[in-house]
Amino acid sequence: MILPQKIAQGVADGTVTVAFRHWAAPRVLEGSEFHTVSGMIRISSITTVDPDGITEDDASRAGAASVDEALAALRGTPGQPVYRIGLEWVGEDPRIALSSDDDLTDDTISEIAQHLERLDGRSSHGPWTRTILQLVADNPGRRAPDLAASLGRETQPFKRDVRKLKNLGLTHSLDVGYRISPRGAAYLAATAPDDA
């Protein structure tokens, strides 16, 4: 589930506790957690609601100034059922602390290498992890479409691959583009080819 930054921040500070969506069927599960710009958020409940029954209190709890604003902001296909999704902040995104850890032991380097080898092994386009790590390190803040094009790749699959590296704490997303994390830089340095 994707939340706008303002809404994610509202969940983190406790001012937003619900979201509304038009969905043919629920797309999230109660109890599931997801990453946002403001940390980890849990789905605390999910129920169908009559949009005409959304109150001013509901709108306020969704971060809207009025019922009209909440209805206008409904994401999804109009005409589909409306779901009220309960949201609660779990805590900071653990990837942030992980990405800051640049004191890598031999065991940690080996674990990262094994994760990257698995990603490379499952790829339909061949090994990519080191290439993208180095590309991000060499081009901080460069637009994802430009980075993808430099490798002859489509943008969306490229972005999914960078997200896999982010999940390992190796990259950071910026407003535009990416940058290598301290952990990612330490890994690249520790595993640099001898002739580099």
**Are 61 and 124 in a shared domain?**
no
- 142 lies in some domain: yes
Helices (H), 84-154: 94-100, 106-122, 129-138, 144-150
Sorted by sequence, the CB contacts under 8 Å of residue 124 that are 6+ apart come out as none
Tell me if 31 sits within 8 A of 85, measured CB to CB.
no
Across all residues in the chain, what is the average pLDDT? 93
Binned at pLDDT 50, 70 and 90, residue 173 comes out as: confident
Judge contact between 131 and 151, C-beta under 8 A. Answer: yes
Among the three residues 92, 119, 139, which one is the final residue of a domain in this structure? Answer: 92
Classify residue 196: in a domain, yes or no. Answer: no
In a domain, 195, yes or no: no
Structural domain count, the chain: 2
Phi, psi of 31 (to 5 degrees): 95, -15
Residues 103 and 79 in one domain: no
Question: Do 105 and 61 share a structural domain?
Answer: no
Distance CA 190, CA 75 (A): 45
Identify the pLDDT of residue 195: 61
Segment 61-84, tens digit of pLDDT: 999 999 999 999 988 888 899 999
Same-domain status, 108 and 156: yes
The CATH number covering residue 12 comes to 2.30.130.30
Query: Residue 131 is part of which domain span?
Result: 95-190
pLDDT score of 196 more than 60 = no
Are the C-beta atoms of 1 and 85 separated by less than 8 Å?
yes
56/141 same-domain check: no
Residues 181 and 104 in one domain: yes
Whether 14 is covered by a domain: the verdict is yes
Among 71, 92, 113, the domain boundary falls at: 92
Please say which residue of 60, 76, 92 terminates a domain: 92
- Find the CATH number of the domain harbouring 146: 1.10.10.10
Does the model's pTM come out above 0.85?
Answer: no
Question: Are 159 and 107 within one domain?
Answer: yes
Residue 130 has pLDDT above 70, yes or no: yes
Residue 159 is assigned to a structural domain of this protein = yes
Pair 100, 153 in one domain: yes
Identify whether residues 182 and 118 lie together within a single domain: yes
Q: Which of 17-21, 102-106, 123-127, 192-196 has the lowest mean pLDDT?
A: 192-196
pLDDT tens string 11-22:
999 999 999 999
